[in-house]
């Protein structure tokens, strides 16, 4: 329905905060010249920037690094694309399950998708909300498959587009198109954890209902 924007934001504060935070980090990172400090703070592994380039460390005790790469975006297209889906998918989940569950889902999918990406690529620079986006998509799809109309479903065209985008990334075509290295591990890891959690939540809610 046509709900005024402030009411929409109030009904999905976590999804809105993720969009706002990603946008703020992007502005600092890409537009206002804080590239080095932001990368050093938020990348999955510590980065030491020298005049000859960057030196990558190993994962240490910085627990936040399991989550914060989701806030790093490397182009406007990357940012807008992810924010659009975080809002579209996130508000559906938040409306049905509340903000606390949405926050938990974000944290779980961030940790899992970033860890899978690190496992595949080793110490590297990667970022973006894409892993979380695929987790939210998988969550809605699996949850709705187990409990009909549990939350506002995703249009089939959106599902098809996202799965094609995933496959295109996996075969490496996006790098040819100049979109840079795509964090395929994060995409796949996100989709897997989203489907699993959606299945668990969907089953639990069916038992609770019966």
101 touches 67 (CB < 8 A): no
Beta strands in the chain, from DSSP E residues, in sequence order: 47-50, 53-56
Report DSSP state, residue 67: T
186 touches 113 (CB < 8 A): yes
C-alpha dihedral, 88 to 77 to 46 to 31, nearest 10°: -110
67 touches 114 (CB < 8 A): yes
Rounded CA gap, 5 and 12, in Å? Answer: 11
> Which residues are catalytic, by number?
130, 187
Beta strands in 38-116, from DSSP E residues, in sequence order: 47-50, 53-56
């Amino acid at each position: 329905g046509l709900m005024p924007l402030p009411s929409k934001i109030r009904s999905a504060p976590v999804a809105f905060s993720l969009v706002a935070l990603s946008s703020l980090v992007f502005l600092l990172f890409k537009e206002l010249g804080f590239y080095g400090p932001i990368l050093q703070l938020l990348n999955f592994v510590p980065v030491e920037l020298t005049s000859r380039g960057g030196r990558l460390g190993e994962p240490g005790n910085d627990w936040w690094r399991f989550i914060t790469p989701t806030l790093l975006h490397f182009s406007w297209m990357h940012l807008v694309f992810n924010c659009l889906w975080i809002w579209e998918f996130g508000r559906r989940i938040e409306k049905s399950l509340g903000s606390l569950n949405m926050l938990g889902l974000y944290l779980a999918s961030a940790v899992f998708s970033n860890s899978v990406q690190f496992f595949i690529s080793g110490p590297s620079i990667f970022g973006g909300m894409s892993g979380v986006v695929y987790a939210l998509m998988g969550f809605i799809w699996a949850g709705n498959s187990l409990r009909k109309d549990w939350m506002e479903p995703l249009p089939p065209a959106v599902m098809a587009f996202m799965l094609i985008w995933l496959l295109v990334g996996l075969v490496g075509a996006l790098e040819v198109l100049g979109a840079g290295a795509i964090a395929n591990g994060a995409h796949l890891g996100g989709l897997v954890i989203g489907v699993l959690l959606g299945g668990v939540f969907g089953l639990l809610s069916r038992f609770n209902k019966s």
